[in-house]
């Protein structure tokens, strides 16, 4: 056997071995790649985006399918038809904040994911990593905490978390000298560690949390969806951070951060604020994630009852939600960024003056409020935004005699008095695109109204409506206003009458106002968020007497006639230049943390109030007058 032959054999063996090894390696690698690909596909399928896509496809299939093409039996056809109808109705209602429709949609989502899509205790961690708390985001932790607290406290869950961990205490988070109400990611991490360190969630709890996350990104209101349902004063978004338009001015954001020495600046879509017990709290750990998500929420949150389209030419919308909350939405170019404000009102169970007024000395104040209403006094409820004007107005409505009819004029339905007082004769009207407030007032005059309520006197025409109603259209009127002092209230109403052209003379316009307004209940919100009646003020119109000298006709000399003329001119100019056509004094004041009865009601108002009361109330009122001011 030659040497060349041996070498050839060896080379052939080496080549065959190399090829075999290569084939083996490729096969093994391909198998591993296939395995990795399978894992990746499962991870993607059960991620939040994968679950959301599945739900959307299923709902589209249910709501859009043509049942007549399926050759179903009659019973199955009716069942699917009802399911299709109920789902379409629920999806629409859920977008309007209807709690029952939201529950229906979430229950169906739960069943689809658990039974059809085969979500289990293992693959659910691809959506939210429940098995590794260290990998959870602050949003994940907050939503888990809220879910756990809701099981015990319901719609008071958020309030319980805030109270239990004193999250509404001012912090020096952004400025060492200026405190602010902010809830940080670090605080949420600490609360979560304390609450969940030794606890594990059940599969049902995990799936409910995932369902809520999918729902709020599909038909809900993103990160504020569950917060909005809680018993809070309100929630807003897009009201802080850098607006998108600012990026066009800056150009390079990284360069801007270098210049300002900051690592990060929140954008407008990182803005979530909660109005809680009079405090504006910034939830810095929550974000809508993108401008498009904030825009989606703004475009959907105001749609109840089809109020019209929000557009560049119509840059804002004011409407109510299905639960009675007021919603205001703004968009560019009217505002610098997309933004919304949801204002919630106290539930009917909390609408009584005994619960609203909590400071010492409140008992005679509550009695006084009752007698002002029973005495048919035209009363303003004033104060800054968020101090509780509308809530107090709704509460004192219970003192109106049931035999008196009530008519309400509003810009948008907010009071919803018939929900609170279903046995009273109440009708509410509001402006529309084709019906002005003046037209509504003209109609009200023909609806047998006894008491007229104005939800808010915020514009000049509305101020004119109020004066008209108080003068000729009703027994008495109640309204709210943003005036800071009683003279400010009179001046603002007077100026409104002048602006719309009802009067051309300031003095005459002011006389009209002071002859209408009897009392002003002024509310205030303390720095700690507490709300109280700062004062109750009585308005007393001055009696105008002109002491003109009419003896000039009997004067024989020109000097005498001239003297009489100058006397009359002096009298005229004294009245024209007098500082006010009214006097006012506080009958109640809030001093040193308690209510103090300061000055008794004038005899004129006492007489007028007694004339409008029942005999029983008149006796109680007389006793109150004798004892309240000592």
The burial of 454, by beta-carbon neighbours within 10 Å (0-12 exposed, 13-18 middle, 19 or more buried), is given as buried
With 60 as the cut, is the pLDDT of residue 199 above it? Answer: yes
| pLDDT score, position 354 | 81
pLDDT at 10 over 70: no
| Rounded CA separation 323/344 (Å) | 9
Identify which has the larger pLDDT, 471 or 359.
Answer: 359
Total residues found in the chain within this entry? 630
DSSP code per residue over 286-351? ---SSHHHHHHHHHHTT-TT------SSS-EEEEE-TTS-EEEEE-TTTSSS-EEEEE----GGG-
Specify the pLDDT at position 9. 62
pTM above 0.85, yes or no: no
pLDDT (0 to 100) of residue 76: 81
**So what's the pLDDT on residue 35?**
52
Query: Are the C-beta atoms of 455 and 410 separated by less than 8 Å?
Result: yes
Which residue is listed with tokens 């004063």? 233
Answer yes or no: is pLDDT of 26 > 70. no
User: Locate tokens 């109204």: which residue?
Assistant: 449
Mean pLDDT of 248-274: 72
At 509, is the pLDDT very low, low, confident or very high (cuts 50, 70, 90)?
confident
Q: Which alpha helices (H) appear in 525-593, and where do they start and end?
A: 558-576
* Element of type H or E holding 53: helix 48-64
Q: Give phi and psi for 272, each to the nearest 5.
A: -130, 115
In this predicted structure, what is the pLDDT of residue 170?
87
pLDDT band, residue 614 (cuts 50/70/90):
very high
Q: How many CB atoms lie within 10 A of CB 545?
A: 7
Rounded average pLDDT over 67-91: 82
Q: What pLDDT is recorded for position 467?
A: 83
pLDDT band (50, 70, 90) for residue 567: confident
What pLDDT score does 2 carry?
A: 59
The alpha carbon of residue 284 and the mean position of all alpha carbons in its chain are separated, in whole angstroms, by 19
Name the token pair of 420: 């609170």
Span 107-124, pLDDT tens digits:
999 999 999 998 999 999
Tell me if 339 sits within 8 A of 330, measured CB to CB: yes
Q: Which of 476, 562, 484 is nearest to 523 (CA)?
A: 484
pLDDT class for 140, splitting at 50, 70, 90? Answer: very high
- Contact 241/256 with Cβ under 8 angstroms? no
3-state SS, residue 400: coil
* Listed range (221-225, 489-493, 550-554) with the worst mean pLDDT: 550-554
Residue 214, token pair as written in the block: 């999918």
What pLDDT, on the 0 to 100 scale, is given for residue 107?
A: 93
CB 280 within 8 A of CB 273: yes
Q: Is the pLDDT of residue 434 over 70?
A: yes
DSSP assignments along 113-142, one per residue: IIIIS---TTGGGGTS-TT-GGG--HHHHH
Q: How far, in Å, CA of 433 to CA of 314, rounded? A: 12
Measured CA to CA, the distance from residue 165 to residue 145 in angstroms comes to: 13
Average of pLDDT values for 493-520?
86
- Identify the residue whose tokens are 């009127």: 477
The bridge status of strand 582-591 relative to strand 531-541 is antiparallel
Q: Is a pLDDT exceeding 60 seen at residue 350?
A: no
Calculate the dihedral angle through the C-alpha atoms of 354, 355, 360, 361, rounding to the nearest 10 degrees: -20
Q: Report pLDDT for 308.
A: 84
- The per-residue DSSP string of 176-232 comes to TTEEE-EE-HHHHHHHHHHHHTT----HHHHHHHHHHHHHHHHTS-GGGHHHHHSSS
Taking a C-beta distance cutoff of 8 angstroms, is the pair 316, 331 a contact?
yes
């Amino acid at each position: 056997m030659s040497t060349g032959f041996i070498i050839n054999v060896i080379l052939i063996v080496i080549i065959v071995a190399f090829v075999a090894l290569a084939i083996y390696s490729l096969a093994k690698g391909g198998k591993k790649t296939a395995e990795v690909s399978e894992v990746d596909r499962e991870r993607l399928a059960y991620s939040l985006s994968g679950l959301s896509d599945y739900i959307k496809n299923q709902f589209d299939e249910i709501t859009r399918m043509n049942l007549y093409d399926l050759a179903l039996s009659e019973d199955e056809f009716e069942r699917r038809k009802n399911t299709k109808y109920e789902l379409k109705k629920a999806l629409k209602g859920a977008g309007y904040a209807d709690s029952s429709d939201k529950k229906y949609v979430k229950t169906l989502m739960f069943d689809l994911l658990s039974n059809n899509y085969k979500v289990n205790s293992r693959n659910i961690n691809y959506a939210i990593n429940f098995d590794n708390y260290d990998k959870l985001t602050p949003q994940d932790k907050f939503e888990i905490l809220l879910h756990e607290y809701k099981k015990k406290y319901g719609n008071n869950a958020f309030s319980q978390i805030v109270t239990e961990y004193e999250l509404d205490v001012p912090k020096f988070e952004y400025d060492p000298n200026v405190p602010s109400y902010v809830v940080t990611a670090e605080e949420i991490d600490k609360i979560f560690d304390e609450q969940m360190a030794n606890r594990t969630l059940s599969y049902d709890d995990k799936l409910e949390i995932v369902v809520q996350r999918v729902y709020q990104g599909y038909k809900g209101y993103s990160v504020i969806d569950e917060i909005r349902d809680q018993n809070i004063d309100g929630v807003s978004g897009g009201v802080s951070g850098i607006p998108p338009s600012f990026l066009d001015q800056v150009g390079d954001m990284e360069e801007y951060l270098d210049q300002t020495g900051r690592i990060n600046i929140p954008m407008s879509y990182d803005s979530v604020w909660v109005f809680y017990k009079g405090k504006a709290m910034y939830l810095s750990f929550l974000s809508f994630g993108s401008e498009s998500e904030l825009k989606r929420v703004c475009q959907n949150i105001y749609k109840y009852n089809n109020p019209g389209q929000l557009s560049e030419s119509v840059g804002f919308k004011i409407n109510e939600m299905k639960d009675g909350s007021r919603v205001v939405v703004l968009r560019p170019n009217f505002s610098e960024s997309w933004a919304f404000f949801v204002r919630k009102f106290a539930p009917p169970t909390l609408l009584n003056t005994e619960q609203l007024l909590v400071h010492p000395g409140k008992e005679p104040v509550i009695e006084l409020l009752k007698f002002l209403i029973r005495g048919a006094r035209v009363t303003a409820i004033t104060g800054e935004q968020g101090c509780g004007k509308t809530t107090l107005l709704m509460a004192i409505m219970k003192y109106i005699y049931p035999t008196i009819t009530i008519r309400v004029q509003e810009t948008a339905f907010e009071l919803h008095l018939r929900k609170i007082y279903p046995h009273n004769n109440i009708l509410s009207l509001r402006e529309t695109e084709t019906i002005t407030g003046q037209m509504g007032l003209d109609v009200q005059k023909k609806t047998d109204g006894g008491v007229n309520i104005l939800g808010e006197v915020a514009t000049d025409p509305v101020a004119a409506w109020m004066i008209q109603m108080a003068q000729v259209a009703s027994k008495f009127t109640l309204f709210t206003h943003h005036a800071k002092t009683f003279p400010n209230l009179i001046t603002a109403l007077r100026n409104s009458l002048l602006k719309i052209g009802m009067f051309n003379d300031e003095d005459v316009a002011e006389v009209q106002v002071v002859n209408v307004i009897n009392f002003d209940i002024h509310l205030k919100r303390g720095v700690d968020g507490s709300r109280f009646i700062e004062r109750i003020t009585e308005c007393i119109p001055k009696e105008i007497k002109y002491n003109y000298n009419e003896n000039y006709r009997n004067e024989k000399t020109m000097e005498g006639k001239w003297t009489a003329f100058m006397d009359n001119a002096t009298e005229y100019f004294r009245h024209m230049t007098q500082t006010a056509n009214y006097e006012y004094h506080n009958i109640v004041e809030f001093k040193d943390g308690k209510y103090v009865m300061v000055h008794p009601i004038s005899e004129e108002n006492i007489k007028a109030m007694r004339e409008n009361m029942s005999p029983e109330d008149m006796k109680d009122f007389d006793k109150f007058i004798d004892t309240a001011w000592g």
